[in-house]
Structure 1
């Protein structure tokens, strides 16, 4: 009874762990050992299992109901428990799980070596209140006659039900026994048949073994073939990929069978369309007829190719080839080869070829032995030789004196990496020597060895001539500077000496008058030299401008003669003038043509000794006028005649008392005459026999009197008696000298030194004439003229501009600003006198 009570207490503690929580052995190991001993003494053989039938703990020798399971490790109670009680135990556990109540199973029998053992099972469900984890306690009762503990209302009586079931099961077993016996007999018969069949199967098995061996052999062969095919396929794939040929295989229905990876840039979505039609793929080719072209190849079974472009402009060589399988066409192979770079290279090569072919320069190739291997049109034009020269030696083109140098340069290219440039002379086929600039470039192979050379030859004959002309111009410049230096020193020295004489003289008006004349004369000479310098610039730049009008040439020549009469008398020369009786009208610039006559007369006076004669003749010859200037001077050497009109050229026979000059007078004569569509010639019978210049100019129709140039209406309206003059000049010396000269001529003169004071002076004085410098401080002369022309009170004042610039554009600028006339510095008194005489009171002339 004690055992039963102990068991009851233990079971209660298992079902409600909180009752034994105060006495748990976890904190005291000796107490735990004592507790285990008490369980073994008072608790029947039992096992604790989890809800998944896993054995958690075995109590009080319950291991006798378990059996070893060999090498297989399992903790499941169904695997561990003895086979005689496995089914009732598992059934009771399942029922306890399902109904959550205690289940009793009685009348069990366990066969053991030491004799049978009667058992009774009790399966009790347990649950942990804290974790809700379920477990089951299985108790084994092996004592005969033991009093069964009272059952609770929740524990069903399994033993009585089992007894009733046993009787029913015995009847069933009897019927089943009979049936089993019949089945055994039937099975024995079937077993005999199976034995016979087994023998047949053994024979068949032997055959299968033999077939298996054959299949293994065939399989090995197939595996070898598969490996070879796989390797061959890999080789083909790598070959296709390495050739960069985009390829796609199509069957007869144009379904995609296979393709190379790079084809995806042309056919988008092809990976998803394997086994489907090519038309399902997005084609990036600019070719709407692709499908029709593929079908045409299938029908004709003939290859097809052409160039196509994709949407991005890349160029491809498209080939469509029949796919032949077992002697028949089973589809097509479409390949695309990117030839964009090839076409670009061909285009560049064609451009270079066009450049070489159409170049004016000679471009050809020679091999390492100097043999000509190519020849362009420029070479034909330069050398006058056709392509028949190919195969000939380079020396055939080179002047005899230059061959050694050219061939030496060619040989030096073997070890040189740079282009060799030389200037030499080559020979045309007709023997003419041509100045050429040659550039020779080495052409090397992959190993760096020179195998040929590229030769470019350019005709530089014009450049060589230009360089010669430049050198001549430099020589002329140097000669001009030397002459200019010499000619400027002469008048300057005379002026300096005359000025010293005037400063040192205390008595004697003769010496002062002579010194003054020297100063005036040499100053005029320096002024002419400055004019020549300006004309040199105009001739050099081709900027001599003509102010054309219709005028009488006879009057112009007469004025030139009158201007030079005194100088001829000074040099004791006889000047005869055979003038044409009547008028000879010319369409041209009277000032420039007068300059022609003056330069010819001065040239004659320069080279004619005292007592000599100079004659000037004007005559008409049909529709032309001829002017002849002849002297009895030193003459011109024959070798100098072709150069006499060139700039800075002078003969070496100038007289010691020559007027000097810089050698541009005759150059200006030729330039001005030719600008008037005329001509000039020189004749001389040699040195000491004089010379003659002849100028011919075309005549124009006799104009109406109204067409002959006359003073403008605006200027004429401002003319009249001039009594008062205002001078505006910022340079004191120039201002005082000009003021003194005007006062000596009887004019009332006032002056100002800058722009603002000059404007105020003119407005307050209201002079008859104002001489205004252009470059003034404050405001310039242009602005003074504009301000004066704006006011009614000062509009009629006659304005004359003073400037150091004498170009036609400068003259036009002063007129545009409102000036009436224009004088160029250094101021010539003759020019000023002409203006004053033209507009002053006649009593002052």
Structure 2
């Protein structure tokens, strides 16, 4: 800016003040010394713009080897600063003239290029100040121009700006959001992706405006981190959510780095924000997949493992400890957990797989080191080879099949018991059939007298009852196993239940000469249950006690109350229960070891029925025994209900009066069943007709005019319900009654017959005494009507 311009005024035209400088006082001399030795460039100008003097710093700044006499040229040549065209073009002269008018001014930094004046030398960036020098009267005498060569600084700034520009260009090409801030944290630039994602403008984001797109919950943490690193100048990273233009927050991984100058001072901050929502979603999906895999492995009792053949180490899935009782380790250590009998087979399977580069699958046992328990494993493995085909690892699966092996064993045991049961069933059924067949043959003999004929009838009657009991038990088992048993619940007095049960079992107990003691400890012991089924439970327990106790034994039946439960205890001093049998005692077809004569009898289903019936009543049953020949105790617990004792009822069977005569129609598609019942009722004095289907019954009813119809429900051409309805519509049958006689005896079956208007529901084989009571009631009502 102060380079001399050729063609300026001649030296002879300089003011006389220049020549008089040497005559000034000592103060002026000191000023000149300071002027010469000042470290900054100074140029002293006359009021006409000519240079009066320059100091040494000026010479160093503007000196040039190609123009060694530049000082003389400026001082004595024709250079005039107020006429410098380069200063005029750059707008410096108007500001400079204000200094000549008496004002101190700062001149803008400009580049002064000697090449524009045809002179050698590089361009220089110059920053200058101009100060007027005044006399005592305040008149401007001279102007002092102080220069500062800022070329290096400007070049450095330009280089930085160029670098920053390149950085910004690069930042606009990356997929991340990017931004730049000054050393105080004031963000002055964002890349295009930032604005595209956030939907904001530069004005909104400048400075600290970025806070508006941050999650308010996360903002305090972010600000603390940002201020901490502004103070330390250290880079940092963190993850936080940013709001997009759609209003949704997504997680971004943020990396912030300082840009420093050569002195290590932070001049800028550069930051990037990378959308990691997809990565986090993938990580969550991976974690969820791993969790599902582990849950699946746990549910399937499976352990994944990998055996490194080079290091001999085995790694397991995290659930190994809970299933195997051990985790990672080397093969040698873990082979100690192999069952001694299975170890050779397992090792051989592994060896064969390694030799063939194949797979293996083997069932084996392991001993858990944590608790010593024996577990069954199905072990699968596959050999993994390297690029040269050499085995380097084996990966596989251990499946805990302990429960499966146990279940298979139980199935085999159940199958064995079932086979034994079928053999026993055949034996039990043959036993009554043989005397029935013999009695039948006797009755066919014409020379048979009345006494022997009566004996044969008694034999058949006893054996039929025995077979009925067997079949009823079998039907109960079938219904229980299929969940078809329905209880006819009512308030039941256990005292009455015990009385009926003892009444039924008394003949068996007396036949074996046992002493039975019954104790009822407590009054009004009531439960909510099915009277018949509860009698069946106690009958089974008493029957077992009688059968499995040698003759002249002792049986005790006690009923008492324990807290909110009724407790029924049946104790005997019989053969007891072997400890090996105890876990299976209440399973179907389970029986103690039998002697060849099978003196105890039975099918092995009684206790299974007891357990099922008790559980249906919400109770429990358990057995206790000190072992063989040391007796046994069965305890039934039933929930109590607090009620008043019901009134006594008369359950005595009534025998029909032979003098009462009824017309009866029996309809049963089983000819033998119908005709045998008809023969019995005819023998008792009733007028009986028998049919095998509904159509025949309808045809016969008009002429026979029955007072009572005993109907099977399952007829070949129509149901018993339909037949009853059609018979009632016959005007010739006023007051006719219907009774159901069927093989269906569940509560819903009884409800159906009741809804259809049947007077009573009997289950085959019919209880004759109960049937005679119903017939007597009908006959009695008929006599009353006649009176």
Q: Which category describes the TM-score, using the shorter chain as reference length?
A: 0.5 to 0.7
Match of 1:464 among 398, 405, 408: 405
- Where in structure 2 are the equivalents of 1:671-686 lying within 5 Å? 671-673=612-614, 675=617, 677=619, 679=621, 681=623
Query: Could you give the per-residue CA deviations for residues 717-769 of structure 1, whole angstroms, max 9, x where no partner exists?
Result: xxxx8833322212222221121112222223233322344457668866443
Distance 2:554 2:367 in 1: 54
Q: Match of 2:719?
A: 780
Q: Is the 8 A contact 1:420 1:439 kept in 2?
A: yes
Q: Is the 8 A contact 1:616 1:627 kept in 2?
A: no
Label 1:417 to 1:821 Cα distance change in 2 as closer, same or farther (>3 A). farther
SS at match of 1:420: strand
**Higher CA-based Rg:** 1
Match of 1:474 among 415, 426, 431: 415
Alignment gaps of 5+ in structure 2: 1-162, 178-188, 211-229, 260-269, 652-659
Match of 1:806 among 742, 745, 766: 745
Match of 2:291 among 354, 360, 364: 354
- Where in structure 2 are the equivalents of 1:45-194 lying within 5 Å? none
Match of 2:344 among 380, 384, 404: 404
Q: Which range moved further: 796-805 or 287-296?
A: 287-296
SS at match of 2:469: helix
Q: Is the 8 A contact 1:372 1:394 kept in 2?
A: no
Q: Is the 8 A contact 2:306 2:396 kept in 1?
A: yes
Q: Is the 8 A contact 1:364 1:376 kept in 2?
A: yes
Q: Match of 2:761?
A: 822
SS at match of 2:619: coil
Q: Is the 8 A contact 2:737 2:759 kept in 1?
A: yes
Label 1:351 to 1:439 Cα distance change in 2 as closer, same or farther (>3 A). farther
Q: Match of 1:724?
A: 663
Q: Is the 8 A contact 1:722 1:768 kept in 2?
A: no
User: How far has the Cα of 1:512 moved from its partner?
Assistant: 3.4
Match of 2:471 among 523, 530, 550: 530
User: How far has the Cα of 1:662 moved from its partner?
Assistant: 1.2
Q: Is the 8 A contact 2:618 2:639 kept in 1?
A: no
SS at match of 1:547: coil
Match of 2:526 among 564, 577, 586: 586
Q: Is the 8 A contact 1:607 1:654 kept in 2?
A: no
Q: Match of 1:395?
A: 335
Q: Is the 8 A contact 2:346 2:362 kept in 1?
A: no
The one of the two structures with greater contact order (alpha-carbon pairs below 8 A, sep at least 6) is: 2
SS at match of 2:341: helix
Q: Which range moved further: 574-583 or 489-498?
A: 574-583
Q: Match of 2:689?
A: 750
Match of 2:371 among 413, 430, 442: 430
SS at match of 2:398: strand
Label 1:254 to 1:707 Cα distance change in 2 as closer, same or farther (>3 A). farther
Distance 1:495 1:477 in 2: 27
SS at match of 2:474: helix
Distance 1:416 1:470 in 2: 37
Query: Could you give the per-residue CA deviations for residues 563-593 of structure 1, whole angstroms, max 9, x where no partner exists?
Result: 4566677x57477676769975432322123
User: How far has the Cα of 1:671 moved from its partner?
Assistant: 4.5
Q: Match of 1:25?
A: none
Instruction: Say yes or no: does 1:518 pair with 2:459.
Output: yes
Distance 2:666 2:457 in 1: 24
Instruction: Say yes or no: does 1:288 pair with 2:227.
Output: no
Distance 2:400 2:198 in 1: 51
Q: Is the 8 A contact 1:773 1:781 kept in 2?
A: yes
Label 1:254 to 1:394 Cα distance change in 2 as closer, same or farther (>3 A). closer
Distance 1:346 1:745 in 2: 89
Q: Match of 2:221?
A: none
Q: Which range moved further: 730-739 or 661-670?
A: 661-670
Distance 2:701 2:522 in 1: 46
Distance 1:284 1:499 in 2: 108
Query: Could you give the per-residue CA deviations for residues 517-572 of structure 1, whole angstroms, max 9, x where no partner exists?
Result: 33322222222211121233345456654333233444444444544566677x57
Match of 1:665 among 606, 626, 641: 606
- Where in structure 2 are the equivalents of 1:590-739 lying within 5 Å? 590-603=531-544, 606=547, 612-613=551-552, 621=560, 628=570, 635-636=575-576, 642=582, 646-652=587-593, 656=597, 658=599, 660-673=601-614, 675=617, 677=619, 679=621, 681=623, 687=629, 703-704=643-644, 723-739=662-678
Count, aligned residues: 565
Q: Is the 8 A contact 2:586 2:607 kept in 1?
A: yes
Q: Match of 1:497?
A: 438
SS at match of 2:409: helix
SS at match of 1:401: coil
Q: Is the 8 A contact 1:444 1:452 kept in 2?
A: yes
Distance 1:743 1:722 in 2: 10
User: How far has the Cα of 1:823 moved from its partner?
Assistant: 2.5
Q: Is the 8 A contact 1:505 1:511 kept in 2?
A: no
SS at match of 1:377: coil
Label 1:574 to 1:437 Cα distance change in 2 as closer, same or farther (>3 A). closer
Q: Is the 8 A contact 1:789 1:818 kept in 2?
A: no
Distance 2:429 2:748 in 1: 28
Query: Could you give the per-residue CA deviations for residues 415-462 of structure 1, whole angstroms, max 9, x where no partner exists?
Result: 344463534324233333222233324445566654323333233332
- Where in structure 2 are the equivalents of 1:317-332 lying within 5 Å? none
User: How far has the Cα of 1:367 moved from its partner?
Assistant: 0.9
Give the TM-score normalised by the residue count of structure 1.
0.53
Distance 2:412 2:753 in 1: 40
Label 1:365 to 1:620 Cα distance change in 2 as closer, same or farther (>3 A). closer
Distance 1:758 1:431 in 2: 74
SS at match of 2:415: helix
SS at match of 1:751: strand
Q: Name the structure where helix makes up a greater proportion of residues.
A: 1
Q: Is the 8 A contact 1:803 1:825 kept in 2?
A: yes
Q: What RMSD over aligned residues (CA atoms) do the two structures have, in Å?
A: 5.8
Distance 1:627 1:505 in 2: 53
Label 1:405 to 1:651 Cα distance change in 2 as closer, same or farther (>3 A). closer
User: How far has the Cα of 1:336 moved from its partner?
Assistant: 12
Q: Is the 8 A contact 1:372 1:393 kept in 2?
A: no
Q: Match of 1:66?
A: none
